[in-house]
Amino acid sequence: MEFKLFAFITLICTPGLYALTVVSPKNPVAVGSNVTLSLNDSKAIPVGSWLYGPTVLVVWFPGDSLVGSSFNKEIAFNNITYELTLTSVTLRSSGLYVIESLKPLLSKGEFRLEVQEPVSNLSLNISNTNLVEFNESMTFTCSARGTPTWFSWQNGSTVVTAGGRVELRNDGQVLAINSVMRYDQGPFKCIVANNISKEESTQITLTISYGPSNLTITALPEKTAYASDSAISMTCSADSKPTASFYWTYNKVPLNVNGPNIKLTNTTQNQTGQYTCIAQNAVTLRYDAVTKTIRIVDPISSVVVNPSAGNPIKNMPFRLTCDVVGPEDSIHWIKNGMYLLPDNKITLSSDNSTLNFNQLTHNDDGQYLCEASNAVSSMTSSAYNLIVNYGPWNTSISGPAIGAAGSNVTFSCSAISHPQSQFSWFFNSSKVAEGSVHVTGVLSLNNAGQYTCMAFNNITGSSSNASVQLTIKYPPRDVVVFSNQQPIFNQSFTLTCHYKGDVDSIQWMKNGMSLLPDNTITLSSDNSTLNFNQLTHNDDGQYLCEASNAVSSMTSSAYNLILNYGPWNTAITGPAMSEIGSTVTFICSANSYPQSQYSWFFNSSKVAVGPVFVTEVLLPNNSGQYICMAFSNITGSSNNASVVFTVIDGVTVSVSSNPLIPLASQNLQLFCNVDGHYNSLHWLRNNQTFQASNRVTISVDNTTVNFKPLQTSNNGKYQCVATNIFKQHISQPYSLVANSPGAAVSVQASVLLTALFTLLLPVLHE
């Protein structure tokens, strides 16, 4: 049976079969675990087998499967998924597993299983744990069970690799370190691993004695130099195991101080020097030393700038000295807030304590300070205000060269100088005053002459003079403009400027503006007379003259020139015609200055004087020529105007009716009766303009009003208005009342009376 199965398997395992894929959740696997080999393909395998090397484990075919008798308890097979499960595997379970498909297609899949023993029984041994740096070596040995195994080492979290002082022996089981250093103290551990497990040993820390090394001295406070009376603490530290012991020396002389700390109090300058800390390790038997220099300096207590003897004078040498109390390392000079450097004008002494000015100038003025410094302090002096003394230069006098008699003048003297100059005044070589200002007394002609100011500087010892020549003049006075002529149009005219006193020039002004000669006006050689060649209206205005000399001027009061002219363009305003019985007003006017005088003439007979003439009540014989004569008693001229006047008859107006008695519901006519010439007629009713309507008509010439028929609504007061060129003439009111037929007799008497009055009205007017 076994032989036939083997022969069958051999027959189908021929090259060129279709490949199957076999997978397992884990590989390699630990001894004693269960392993399932499964097919990663979904195709059906009706007939197939599992092989382990040359040995058949399982054969299956439709309806059944067979497991080799020697593996009956070690394997399990799933007919549906074709999975092969190995239970409690051992190291012998490692090897090649093959699945073969015999039907429907010839195919084959392989899987090599690896079974390993986990790491166990890990141990770590060391040759020596107490070591001295640089003097000794050490060896770690690591052992463990398991198949297979790999060894690695860690120092803390760092992986240890071979090289330099480090060796790895026996495939990493042994770690050797030669000439150990302080950084080799660990902790060290051994790590053993294979494909299925990993174990770590316990950690071992080495005790390595080292030092002392890296000695430092720390000062508190830390400074490059210390002021006297400071307190200074110094601490010495070193890298050492075990802890080092310390002692101190000062300038190589031992101090009675043990331990890492030393404190200096109430320090003085003589404590400046080298302080050395010496450290020693009792195990390594080594020692080391470190030195720190401590500098103690007295602070600067005073800084003063002192000038050299004598005053600073322009163009002279000068010196400033910086006097310092206390040790100084450097001195700097400051001018106006800026550090000063030597140049071709100033020099400094070798220690900068003296500032030398070769030759003082104005540019050397300023605030000078010196700043002294040492390692622990800095102090600046108070400012020395250097002001260069000079002068007097450019002495000058301000004041008038001409003075007014009867007044005084003020002279001011100035000079460029420091300090301020002293001033003395001389008149014609005689000293008259002191001070920069000299005010003369009341001037007369005797005060004319030369005035001299002498400026003197009592620091520089120099003086300087200036002079002015004073002339005395009388001021202009009583300046007035006058003329002995009347200014008449087209005639010549002269204005004269009269004055008293000394006058150098005369200036004419018109209406506030300077007046210059032209083709209409001329001036005399001294400008005192202003001549108008031929006066025109443009010459009207306010004329003044100003008389001046070097000390004063005076302007006259205004002369108001008003041109006399005319009369010209005489004219009469008034009517050329009027009615008998009225009066007429004529007004005469003419262009003239002053106002003309007027006379009126009628038909060559003088009838009135004055610009307005009112006639008497006009009669027909008042028609004729009326003449107005305008006359100026300044220019001596006259000018006439005339008007021809006509007197015409007047106009009378009355209203009558037909029939005499107005009856309601009957026709009625009102007549406008006019005596005299007129231009137009119109009617009024109750003082309002009366207009025609559909039952009331007015004739074309407006003389007749027709009522067809009369109604009581037509009642009212009717008037006729006749207008000529002079005025409107209005009749007496006609009271129209529409009477009933029965009342006609009772009103007849009043109508007759009204008619009679109307007929008599013209006679009454005459």
Q: Does domain 120-205 have CATH number 3.40.190.80?
A: no
pTM: 0.44
Q: For residues 629-654, give the mean pLDDT.
A: 91
Find the helix or strand (DSSP H, E) in which 358 lies: none
Whole-angstrom distance, CA of residue 51 vs CA of residue 64: 17
Query: Is the CB of residue 702 less than 8 Å from the CB of residue 683?
Result: yes
Give the rounded percent of residues in the chain with a pLDDT score beyond 70. Answer: 94
710: closest CA among 693, 688, 691, 695?
695
What average pLDDT does the segment 679-695 reach? Answer: 91
At the fourth CATH level, which superfamily is domain 390-473? Immunoglobulins (2.60.40.10)
**Does position 549 have pLDDT exceeding 50, yes or no?**
yes
- Domain 302-386 = CATH 2.60.40.10: yes
Q: Using an 8 Å Cβ cutoff, are 337 and 371 in contact?
A: no
Residues 419 and 457: beta-carbon distance below 8 Å: yes
| Mean local confidence (pLDDT), 388-401 | 93
Using the predicted structure, report yes or no on whether residue 623 has a pLDDT greater than 60.
yes
Res. 18: pLDDT tops 70 = no
pLDDT score at 299: 95
For residues 87-93, average pLDDT: 90
* Residue range 2-116, CATH number: 2.60.40.10
Are 399 and 386 spatial neighbours (Cβ–Cβ below 8 Å)?
no
Mean pLDDT for the stretch of residues 202-214? 93
Q: Which residues contact 557 (CB under 8 A, 6 or more apart)?
A: 480, 481, 544
Q: How many whole angstroms separate alpha carbon 328 and alpha carbon 324?
A: 8
What percentage of the chain has pLDDT greater than the value 90? Answer: 75
What gap in Å lies between CA 140 and CA 126, rounded to an integer? Answer: 5
Give φ, ψ of 596 to 5 degrees.
-70, 160
Is the pLDDT assigned to residue 760 strictly greater than 80? no
Confidence of residue 41 (pLDDT cuts 50, 70, 90): confident
CA–CA separation, 171 and 143 (whole Å): 11
The dotted CATH code for 477-561 is 2.60.40.10
- In this predicted structure, the answer to whether residue 137 has a pLDDT above a threshold of 70 is yes
Instruction: With residue 749 as reference, give the H or E element that holds it.
Output: helix 744-765
pLDDT at 754: 54
Amino acid at 695: R
Q: State mean pLDDT over 23-30.
A: 92
Assigned CATH topology for domain 652-725+732-765: Immunoglobulin-like (2.60.40)
Give pLDDT, residue 1. 34
At 322-362, the pLDDT tens digits run 999 999 999 999 999 999 999 999 999 999 999 999 999 99
Predicted confidence (pLDDT) per residue in 707-724, tens digit: 999 999 899 999 999 998
Closest to 134 in 3D by CA, of 183, 90, 96: 183
Which residues in 53-173 belong to E strands, given as ranges? Answer: 55-61, 64-67, 75-77, 84-86, 95-103, 107-113, 115-116, 120-126, 130-132, 138-145, 150-155, 158-159, 166-169
Tokens of residue 519, six digits? 């083709």
Q: Is pLDDT of 269 > 70?
A: yes
Q: Classify domain 565-648 by CATH architecture.
A: Sandwich (2.60)
Kindly report the CA angle at 436 between 431 and 439, in degrees rounded to 5? Answer: 65
| Single-letter amino acid code for the residue at 331 | I
Note the pLDDT tens digit of each residue in 139-180: 999 999 988 789 999 999 999 999 999 999 999 999 999 999
One-character DSSP codes across 692-756: --SSEEE-TTS-EEEESS--GGG-EEEEEEEE-SS-EEEPPPEEE--B-GGGHHHHHHHHHHHHH
Query: Taking a C-beta distance cutoff of 8 angstroms, is the pair 679, 719 a contact?
Result: no
CA distance 357 to 306: 14
How is the beta sheet containing 253-258 ordered, strand by strand? 253-258, 245-250, 273-280, 287-294
- What digits encode the pLDDT tens for the residues 106-132? 889 999 999 999 998 999 999 888 899
Rounded to a whole number, what is the distance in angstroms from the first to the last CA of the chain?
Answer: 194
Are 2-116 and 477-561 equal in CATH topology?
A: yes
Q: What is the mean pLDDT of residues 406-435?
A: 93
Q: 104, 183, 177: which is closest to 137 by C-alpha?
A: 177
H or E element, residue 3: helix 2-12
pLDDT mean over 710-739: 91
Among 237, 296, 227, smallest CA distance to 262 is for: 237
User: What's the average model confidence in pLDDT over 356-372?
Assistant: 95
Reduced to 3 states, what is the DSSP secondary structure of residue 91?
Answer: helix
Interval 40-53 mean pLDDT? 89
- pLDDT score at 310: 85
CB 60 within 8 A of CB 66: yes
Domain boundaries, the chain: 2-116, 120-205, 209-297, 302-386, 390-473, 477-561, 565-648, 652-725+732-765
* Digit-coded pLDDT (tens) for 440-455: 999 988 899 999 999 9
Cα–Cα dist 366/383, whole Å = 9
Sole residue written with tokens 């076999």 = 22
For residue 319, pLDDT over 60 is answered with yes
**pLDDT of 410 strictly over 50:** yes
- At residue 542, the pLDDT reads 96
Q: Report whether CATH 2.60.40.10 matches the domain 209-297.
A: yes
Average pLDDT over residues 571-583: 89
**What's the average model confidence in pLDDT over 394-414?**
92
In the predicted model, what is the mean pLDDT of residues 20-37? 92
Core vs surface per residue 358-383: b (16+ CB within 10 A) or e: eebeeebebebbbbbbbbbbbbebee
- CA dihedral over 342, 344, 349, 350, signed as positive or negative: positive
pLDDT at 679: 87
What contacts 552, CB < 8 A, 6 or more positions away?
A: 404, 475, 476
